[in-house]
Amino acid sequence: MAGTIILWGHALAALLFAVLALSQLRDGAVSVPRTAFVAALGITALWALAVAGIGNPDLTARVAESLRNIAWLAFMMALLRRDHSAGRDRAVTMIYGVVVLVALAGIVLSVIQASVPADVVKGFAAVRILLRMMVALGALVLVHHLYSVAAPGARGGIRLAVAALAIMWTSDLVLYTTAYLSGEGSQELIATRGLVMIAIVPLLAIAVHRNGDWTLKLSRTVTWQSLSLVALMAYAVVTILAISAIDSFGGSYARLAQTAFVFGSAAALLTLLSSPTIKAWLRVMVAKHLFNHRYDYRAEWSRFTDTLGAPGDGAAPLEERIVKAVADVTDSSAGLLLVADDGVFGLGATWNWLGTVPVTIAGEPLAQSMAGNSRIIELDAVRAGDAPPGELAAVPQWMLDEPSAWAIVPLVHLNQLIGAILLARPPIDRSLDWEDFDLLRIAGRQVASYLAEARAHEALADARRFDEFNRRFAFIMHDVKNLVSQLTLVARNAERHADNPDFRVDMIATLKDSVGRMNDLLARLSQHNSARVEEPVAVELMPIVERVTQRRGASHPIAVTGMRDAVAVADPARLEQALGHLIQNAIEASAPGEPVGVVVGRATIEVIDSGPGMSASFIRDRLFRPFTSTKSGGFGIGAFEARQVIQAMGGKLDVVSREGEGTRFTIVLREALAPVKMERAA
């Protein structure tokens, strides 16, 4: 049954591939990818016909299969070379060349296998199957690479072709992996592969008729992955060949020698790859010989910004992250931040710096030189005397005496020198080139903006602390002014009523109240004590109003009316403070002898004056802003602080005013049960 499916499946696949190739020939369009595509279709048709007519184990079928793989690789390479910048990349060309060489090695082994004695065939067969597995695996990597480097807008035109090739080589990989592990080919898998080849023909036909614009660009990440896979494949080939040679010539110690070789080579490879120096050397060599530019700028910038913006509580301080971010650009092993302050460099943060650092940086000439030209200084050139005269005179001697010191990168923000970073030598010592200078200059400007922003935040925090102190002091001055007015009135009346016992009692009470309020003001001025703050409770409003008006009523008539049993939720002391501000403002706005009205409602207190009033724009934009006042010599604090205090108790302060008619302030508090009602509820 499997033999019949192999015969008819591969025969039908050969027919379909041949028809698709002929249709492309009749189309008449000529281009390198189309020619390679037609050739690959034709060779695939011949291979399928050989499998159907002669059989998969035959030499002709094996050679045709290798040629089929090479043809499809040539088609993929033709697609890749449509983009000139991608086609010039030697890394991609090398990967294709390695896979093609492995396929050619498979042809050579197939020919040798057909001509050697039967007792040697088994060893060649295992190596040949392994090589075909490597071809399938390498081809799948290149298929992924081809799709990855396609422009995102053009992937629709290449998606089906990539899918078809991926399916073809995946079936090959499954077939030969099974054969390598079991020691013999599976007829069922060979039959399935014929059906798979039939299924991918429609995908190829649709893909080629879409005529998509397959514009490609090289991806360094995919190239590195492909190179790593090719290296692993080469290591596997060398290992298999060495093991086979040891098995042939090792005699009775062959198994021991094979084990020692495998473990020894693996340990040596891991030791080499784990060395930072080796890894740095590999990166430099590959970037130098395989790419047009040293840096993958997108990857470098992503790493740079990730280092600077590292979140979390465990992140290093900003200055240390700045040094590391700049050092990572050139793979420097350490760095030292020099902070500019009044034209002199001071020592900042360090990252992995093991060299000597003097107590005094002695960087004044260096800071002045960098502030003038913003040049990156290469210290080896200064040591050799090849640097400009200004740099020769500016670089401190301790930097030149430190052998690990490599370069100095200025940090300039808006033409102002913020600092500089002294970089240590990378593991692979080299001279700076134009790409290093350009990238370090951009990185220096970026981290300079971070440092400048951090300093601005610190200055803003200091300004806010001073502003908070000034705001508290302004509030205190406003309340002190009211206390002084009250005490002045007491002193003036004492000259006339000092012999009156009732006046002396009232004067003593006033003085005690003033002393208490002054102590409260001092407490409010401290940043560690925000004055006495009590939890709002149910309080009667009329006694509070009477206490405030009694103190203020001696200098100006105040008329108190309203509900005597009104109860609201408030902090009594803070409510007295807010009400005192509003009544004092009403007194100052009223004409002499014109009474100020205070009306107590269910949970409200209204302060009414008949003064000049305020405009709607003033109420909206300026009334509740501190330090804004319509009165000569006023602080503009009363209304602002009154609203802050009332809102802190869960209430609100409303105002209605008309110019020339007066103003009405209304304190609205949370309503509470009256004392009689509370007794009944209990």
In angstroms and rounded to an integer, the radius of gyration of the C-alpha atoms of the chain is: 44
Is 48's pLDDT higher than 60? Answer: yes
What distances in angstroms separate CA 466 from CA 453, 455, 457, 476, one per listed residue? Answer: 20, 17, 14, 15
d(CA 74, CA 161): 14
d(CA 177, CA 133): 7
Tens-place pLDDT, residues 481-520: 777 777 777 787 787 777 788 777 778 877 877 777 777 7
Q: In a 3-state reduction of DSSP, which class is residue 412?
A: strand
Q: In a 3-state reduction of DSSP, which class is residue 109?
A: helix
* Residue pointed to by tokens 């069922």: 188
Give me the residues paired with residue 644 across strands: none
Tens-place pLDDT, residues 234-274: 666 677 667 767 776 666 777 777 777 777 877 777 776 66
Least confident piece of the model among 461-475, 549-563, 594-608? 461-475
Tens-place pLDDT, residues 633-661: 555 567 888 898 899 888 999 999 988 88
pLDDT, mean over the chain = 78
Least confident piece of the model among 334-338, 458-462, 547-551? 458-462
Least confident piece of the model among 34-48, 225-239, 563-577? 225-239
> What type of residue is 426?
P
Tens-place pLDDT, residues 570-582: 998 889 889 988 9
Largest CA distance in the chain: 141
**CB-CB contact of 443 with 325 (8 Å):** yes
Nearest partner of 567 among 597, 536, 592, 532, judged by Cα: 536
Cβ contacts of residue 357 below 8 Å, gap of 6+? 336, 347, 350, 398
Cβ density class 84-96: b for 16+ within 10 Å, e for less: eebbebebbeebb
Of 583 and 429, the one with more pLDDT: 583
| Measured distance between the N- and C-terminal CA atoms of the chain, rounded to whole angstroms | 97
* Residue pointed to by tokens 């109860």: 567
Q: Which helix (H) or strand (E) holds 666?
A: strand 662-668
Least confident piece of the model among 82-91, 301-310, 470-479, 502-511? 82-91
Dihedral of alpha carbons 416, 417, 419, 421, sign: positive
d(CA 319, CA 316): 8
Tens-place pLDDT, residues 129-176: 888 888 888 888 888 877 776 644 445 557 778 888 888 988 888 888
Cβ contacts of residue 306 below 8 Å, gap of 6+? none
What distances in angstroms separate CA 542 from CA 89, 197, 599, 601, 644, one per listed residue? Answer: 90, 97, 9, 9, 22
Tell me the whole-structure pTM to 2 decimals: 0.43
Indicate the pLDDT class of residue 355, thresholds 50, 70 and 90. confident
Q: In a 3-state reduction of DSSP, which class is residue 54?
A: coil
Q: Give the model's pLDDT for residue 227.
A: 54
Nearest partner of 637 among 479, 458, 483, 522, judged by Cα: 479
For the chain, what's the residue count? Answer: 682
Tens-place pLDDT, residues 62-75: 888 889 999 989 98
CB 668: neighbour CB atoms within 10 A? Answer: 16
Least confident piece of the model among 151-165, 255-269, 410-424, 538-552? 151-165
DSSP symbols for 296-351 = -HHHHHHHHHHHHT--STTSPPHHHHHHHHHHHHTT-S-EEEEEEETTEEEEEEEE
